[in-house]
Amino acid sequence: MAMNSTGACPASSTGADVAPAVALFHSLSDPTRLAIVQRLAGGEVRVADLVRELGLAQSTVSAHVACLRDCGLVVGRPQGRQMFYALARPELMDLLASAETLLAATGSAVALCPTYGAGTQAAVEETEEVGR
């Protein structure tokens, strides 16, 4: 998603131009994947550690880590019979920091969004899924 020199999106943007950004943000839109990325921002970790910390099934965590790996956001480093996962790009930490800054600036506007906010049925179901 290229910006012009004034920082605005060019008028000629098409849906194809934003497809990579859509895929990136979609990969981070799942609460479990976002929790994994936030945890990996603190350093590499094994799936077993994520299972314990997130309280989710190993198969669930493995599937989400695989998704993040397939998106190029996470890399694995084998050590013996174990695999340690880490963020593939330090820029992802910048993106997370920018998102937190934006959320702080918008206050409750995002949480009150009628489509994706905390009170929507989809948000409630996603929150319940993470807690399982």
Within a domain: 67: yes
**Are 23 and 71 spatial neighbours (Cβ–Cβ below 8 Å)?**
yes
Within a domain: 110: no
Which residue from 58, 39, 38 is spatially nearest to 48, judged by alpha carbons?
58
Instruction: Kindly state the average pLDDT of the residues 38-58.
Output: 96
- Answer yes or no: is pLDDT of 8 > 50: no
pLDDT tens digits for range 82-106: 999 999 998 999 999 998 898 889 8
Global pTM value: 0.74
Within a domain: 112: no
- Answer yes or no: is pLDDT of 17 > 60: yes
How many domains are contained in the chain? 1
Within a domain: 2: no
Within a domain: 76: yes
Q: Which sign does the torsion angle of CA 102, 117, 8, 10 carry?
A: positive
What is the structure's pLDDT at 118?
Answer: 76
The domain of 82 spans: 18-102
What is the structure's pLDDT at 109?
Answer: 83
Within a domain: 71: yes
Q: Residue 37's domain is classified under what CATH number?
A: 1.10.10.10
